[in-house]
Amino acid sequence: MLDSKIPAGPLDSKWTNYKGNVKLVNPANKRKLEVIVVGTGLAGSSAAASLGEMGYKVKAFCFQDSPRRAHSIAAQGGINAAKNYQNDADSVYRLFYDTIKGGDYRAREANVHRLAEVSTNIIDQCVAQGVPFAREYGGLLSNRSFGGTQVQRTFYAAGQTGQQLLIGAYQALERQVALGTVTMYSRHEMVELVIIDGKARGIIARNLVTGELERHFGHAVLLCTGGYGNVFYLSTNAMGSNVTAAWKAHKQGAYFANPCFTQIHPTCIPVSGDHQSKLTLMSESLRNDGRIWVPVKKGDNRPANEIPEEERDYYLERRYPAFGNLVPRDVASRAAKERCDAGYGVGSSKQAVYLDYAAAIQRYGKAEVSKRNLGNVSTEMVTQLGKEVVKEKYGNLFDMYAKITGENPYEVPMRIYPAVHYTMGGLWVDYELKTTIDGLYALGEANFSDHGANRLGASALMQGLADGYFVIPYTLGNYLAEDIRTQSIATDHPAFVEAEKKASDRISRLMSIQGKQTVESFHKRLGKIIWDKCGMARSEEGLKQAIEEVQALKAEFWSDVRIPGKINGMNPELDKAGRVADFIELGELMCLDALERNESCGGHFREEYQTPDGEALRDDQNYMYVAAWENKGEGWELHKEPLNYEIVKPSQRSYK
């Protein structure tokens, strides 16, 4: 039976009571304890900086050349916090409720409430670090709306919020590096977890420049390695984003939770051809002011600006009047797919819908005319003033779209289509963020804990920084307080020797295959299987086919992949081969998890289980649990953590 270790007591006091009764490690003992942090995005950088500041000896690892290249920098739109600066009735409870409902009632109440509680601290922390959040004319922090909410609680820094937040965390991390409490290992990738007497005690890391395998001891190991969206090949993730560190932990005994819960983001630049290896996100913040539509007439090939207002279908506003264009991501994505599948798509591929800023430009322009007391002005002047306001709010996003597509989004509507963006599934963790392996923790997107079956926009940054700055400093201390008498274990211990040999043998096996097909070709084929049969829509028949196809692909990979270069030296193809091998195994588990969950919820949409009007149809009686999968070598065993709702009463989600 999985023990989530949720504290007793009322929901709104669990975290406060936990902090008040947690075991402590005194400053002198902290200096004797070593902590390994794998990954230095928002969760990893904030955790390493916080633990270093507290006095622990921290080793931080990233496979990039600098923590500043972590995929966290790609987050555009903002970060949520229940500050209620807009006086629009927001609160900790409302953020908690929106997150639970947005996740389609498949998240743990206690974890989500804690996230909502500490959200306000995050903004204060980041402002103190100098993060340049957008401000109103009078100097107050500005907010905007995001999907799945009816309040404005999203703080932002133009369209580069993730980058600015990461710079803040990076500065804090580098301060600790300079003070000697954190040792930074860039261009290092974790390739094996070391377990001694049932506890995580270190990692084997591969130096990606020299190819050498290195042994590193830690009293605890924190995985902050992000999500696994690149299993689909085409996604908005950075090209290097992978599941390898989490997958190594899974194969050593860490349960993997809800792997089929993946998020398709509704506003991305559409696929333009088979040549692509990456997709580009257009921030959800654009749905704050933009209106999404398709032509009323099927197959209408007229340019967007030639289609009159009465011949446009603003389908989200029509179907979901209460939330309009700000419905949650899973709802907006499925609605776009439905329109395109029905023949109303636009663009050359017909796999796109319009995101239109014409109305917002006029609205902002008129407001500027009034604010400046300009009196009667021309329509051209109103438009110009409106464009200036839009440029101030979203300029870098509009510039990015123009660069990629060659079209001016100030003049013509953008074309968008859903794409893989985030993974709600991840390593199973308890309330303390500890996995099923003692001493191994997972933070941020690497764990499953906070978003259920669908993440609300602007909540990924919130979770990463909450886990790193405000949760792990307490929960890790509670574990390490029992470990203060454990001396550092020498890396010539048999467990380290065995783990290094295991990693070395796998690398040698990969290099010895010398087949005919590239790593890229296998990744691309895997992505097509998973996208077609475990993507936005899934079915029993398709998932069974996908499992067979992935198993066959795995056998073909291990017999016919060709990796050029050498082991001892820089070899990006070898690095990628190891990651794709792990993605193939994960892909099978994703399909198995989706097949076992005979319901639709959030981003998991089984075609057999939907309401008459095409919405996700949950089965709370049989599937209100976290699916935690244990690796058994040649297969998996399912463990279930029941979800008990004490405060929120699950109901059919409605955004109408």
Residue 171 confidence (pLDDT) above 90: yes
Q: Which of 156-160, 328-332, 584-588 shows the lowest per-residue confidence on average (mean pLDDT)?
A: 156-160
Give pLDDT tens digits for 174-222: 999 999 999 999 999 999 999 999 999 999 999 999 999 999 999 999 9
**CATH of the structural domain 264-420, one choice from 3.40.640.10, 3.40.50.300, 3.20.20.70, 3.90.700.10:** 3.90.700.10
Q: Extract the tokens encoding 577.
A: 């081969």
Tell me the C-alpha distance between 414 and 430, whole Å.
42
The pLDDT, as a whole number, for residue 273 is: 85
Domain definitions of the chain by residue range: 264-420
**pLDDT exceeds cutoff 90 at 531:** yes
Q: What is the pLDDT of residue 210?
A: 98
> What confidence category does residue 274 fall into, taking pLDDT thresholds of 50, 70 and 90?
confident
Residues 6+ apart with CB under 8 A from 43: 224, 443, 444, 445, 446, 463, 464, 465, 467, 468
pLDDT surpassing 90 at residue 511? yes
Q: How far is CA 413 from the centre of its chain?
A: 28
| Other C-beta atoms lying within 10 Å of the C-beta of residue 263 | 27
With 90 as the cut, is the pLDDT of residue 290 above it?
yes
As a whole number, mean pLDDT of residues 16-29 equals 97
Confidence band of 159 (pLDDT split at 50, 70, 90): confident
pTM over cut 0.95: yes
Residue the block writes with tokens 């206690």: 110
**pLDDT of 533-543, one tens digit each?**
999 999 999 99
**Mean pLDDT (the chain, rounded):** 97
The residues, any chain, with a CB within 8 Å of residue 443's CB and separated by 6 or more, are: 43, 44, 47, 222, 223, 224, 433, 464, 467, 468, 471, 472
Q: What is the pLDDT at residue 59?
A: 98
